[in-house]
Amino acid sequence: MVSARPAVAALPAYRPGRNPADLAREIGVERAVKLASNEVAFPPLPAVVQAIAAAAGETNRYPDNGATLLTAALAERYGVEPGQLATGCGAVMLCQQLAQAFNDPGTSMAFAWRSFEMYPLLAEVAGARAVRVPLVPGQDGGPADTHDLDGLLAAIDDTTRVVFVCNPNNPTGTAVRRAALADFLDAVPADTLVVLDEAYREFVTDPDVPDGIELMRGRANVAVLRTFSKAWGLAGLRVGYLLAEDPAVAEAVRKTHVPFSVSSLAQAAAVAALASEPEVRERCVAVVTERARLTAALRERGVPVAESQANFVWLPLGERTAEVAAELEARAVITRPFAGEGLRVTVGAPAEDDVFLAALDDVLDPAPGAPARA
Ligand SMILES: Cc1ncc(COP(=O)(O)O)c(C=O)c1O
């Protein structure tokens, strides 16, 4: 009998989120609302659809393995050399490539926890140790929802090859500020790579939340991860990128690239999306406006939602999380529960969020002082 490597056998089975069409059919409603994957609610921009249509005529050919046009467009956009960039089949694939490129068996990868759920899985598949540093309360007496940078620094030892700082953090939406992050980066040993995972950077509104690319400059052991899946609206096409101060870091990541894994459609769409940045920025403003409305509506209901700098909000529901998520699903709203901790809810279109809020009113007992349940 064949058997998978122990590290792989021990991984939890992948549980995909509910598909809204399946859920709607199951519970007998016309449509369900999906607020589970931090996608934007807008369809792709017309220029992006046109670029995909044009590229569709060439799909008998392999894509450009070096993503030359996309790399050049990114290099110009961010003021870096093409050699400082690596593109990948989604930022998640770049996380995997980082583990492959930097983590020998017996080394470790450190990150806050809870954070992006793929970090520990990718570390373990690479045969590395996943070192989880618990989040701490961002507010006195509040839930643990914020990076503990001192704790993360203390967790780094001789075996630590990669540290992820997810800023803003998925799933809590909280962000670390400039001075604290700069001090942290200055204190990390030079042979440990710090990856600032900025999948949600475009939704940041607090000017004190740093742009990782600024902090990367002059720090050879820092890299920044971004994606076209969220603000740029290309989740279905799978394209992300890494920028590194030291071209050797980007080169190591490029060496672990699965050949041709960024499709020609994805490359064309990403180039067109970059060229449409003003429209993308307008959409981000709409998301941020809706984030403020959703946050206020939840706080009015007595839910202590942390200030989010991303396109989702975090409801620290503790032991009630799984039950509330199941009750919401029964009312045709799909969210992302982390059992025992909290519920992550993507900022949707206003009408979708209204469906969510009405369902939540139906599910939650009103907190003292909160309006009575509808
Ligand atoms: C923090 C973070 N990093 C990386 C990713 C991966 O994004 P993608 O693979 O879609 O580019 C996600 C996706 O949810 C994320 O939340």
Least confident of 3-17, 174-188, 213-227, 277-291: 3-17
Place of tokens 């609302």: 33
Per the document, the length of the chain is 374
Same domain membership, residue 84 and residue 229: yes
Give the Å distance between the CA of 199 and the centre of ligand 1: 6
CA Rg, the chain, in Å? 21
| pLDDT, tens digit, 9 for 90 and up, residues 38-76 | 999 999 999 999 999 999 999 999 999 999 999 999 999
Given ligand 1 and candidates 167, 229, 347, which is best to mutate, with the most ligand atoms within 8 Å of its CB? 229
Q: Which atom of ligand 1 is nearest to the CA of 94?
A: 9
Same domain membership, residue 283 and residue 270: no
pLDDT recorded at residue 13: 81
**Long-range contacts (CB closer than 8 Å, 24 or more residues apart) made by 128-133:** 128/99, 128/103, 128/104, 128/161, 129/159, 131/155, 131/160
pLDDT recorded at residue 374: 35
* Three-state DSSP state, 312: strand
Query: Can you say how many angstroms the Cα of residue 181 is from the centroid of all Cα atoms in its chain?
Result: 19
Is 372 within the bounds of a domain? no
Is 28 within the bounds of a domain? yes
241, 275, 309 - which closes a domain: 275
Report the candidate in 327, 337, 312, 329 with the shortest Cα–Cα distance to residue 363.
Answer: 327
Q: Which residues line ligand 1 (CB under 6 A)?
A: 38, 90-92, 116, 166, 170, 197, 199, 227, 229, 235, 240
**Residue 83 DSSP symbol:** G
Same domain membership, residue 212 and residue 96: yes
Same domain membership, residue 290 and residue 230: no
Residue 351 pLDDT more than 50? yes
Give the Å distance between the CA of 366 and the centre of ligand 1: 34
Give the Å distance between the CA of 116 and the centre of ligand 1: 8
Report the candidate in 360, 366, 345, 359 with the shortest Cα–Cα distance to residue 302.
Answer: 366
Is 370 within the bounds of a domain? no
Q: Mean pLDDT score of the chain, rounded to an integer?
A: 95
Same domain membership, residue 303 and residue 218: no
Domain that holds residue 235: 46-275
Q: Which atom of ligand 1 is nearest to the CA of 169?
A: 1
Same domain membership, residue 16 and residue 152: no
Same domain membership, residue 212 and residue 134: yes
Same domain membership, residue 77 and residue 178: yes
| pLDDT, tens digit, 9 for 90 and up, residues 142-165 | 999 999 999 999 999 999 999 999
Residue 15 pLDDT more than 80? no
Is 83 within the bounds of a domain? yes
SS3 content of the chain, % helix, strand, coil (to 5): 40, 15, 45
Give the Å distance between the CA of 1 and the centre of ligand 1: 36
Is 1 within the bounds of a domain? no
| pLDDT, tens digit, 9 for 90 and up, residues 300-312 | 999 999 999 999 9
Report the candidate in 125, 162, 117, 138 with the shortest Cα–Cα distance to residue 252.
Answer: 162
Question: What is the number of domains present in the chain?
Answer: 2
Is 141 within the bounds of a domain? yes
Same domain membership, residue 282 and residue 265: no
Same domain membership, residue 191 and residue 293: no
pLDDT recorded at residue 278: 98
Report the candidate in 132, 291, 269 with the shortest Cα–Cα distance to residue 200.
Answer: 291
Same domain membership, residue 289 and residue 226: no
Give the Å distance between the CA of 361 and the centre of ligand 1: 30
pLDDT recorded at residue 365: 67
Same domain membership, residue 153 and residue 86: yes
Given ligand 1 and candidates 201, 230, 261, 312, which is best to mutate, with the most ligand atoms within 8 Å of its CB? 230
Distance CA 92, CA 89 (A): 7
**Residue 10 DSSP symbol:** T
Residue 373 pLDDT more than 60? no
275, 310, 334 - which closes a domain: 275
Strand order across the 342-346 sheet: 312-315, 342-346, 336-338
Q: Which atom of ligand 1 is nearest to the CA of 115?
A: 1
Region of residue 112 (left: phi > 0; alpha: psi -120 to 50; beta: else) = beta
Give the Å distance between the CA of 289 and the centre of ligand 1: 22
pLDDT recorded at residue 17: 75
Is 264 within the bounds of a domain? yes
pLDDT recorded at residue 24: 96
Helices (H) and strands (E) in the chain, counts: 14, 14
Is 78 within the bounds of a domain? yes
Give the Å distance between the CA of 368 and the centre of ligand 1: 37
CATH number of the domain to which 20 belongs:
3.90.1150.10
Segment 218-234 shows an average pLDDT of 98
Segment 100-129 shows an average pLDDT of 96
CATH number of the domain to which 235 belongs:
3.40.640.10
218, 252, 275 - which closes a domain: 275
pTM of the model: 0.96
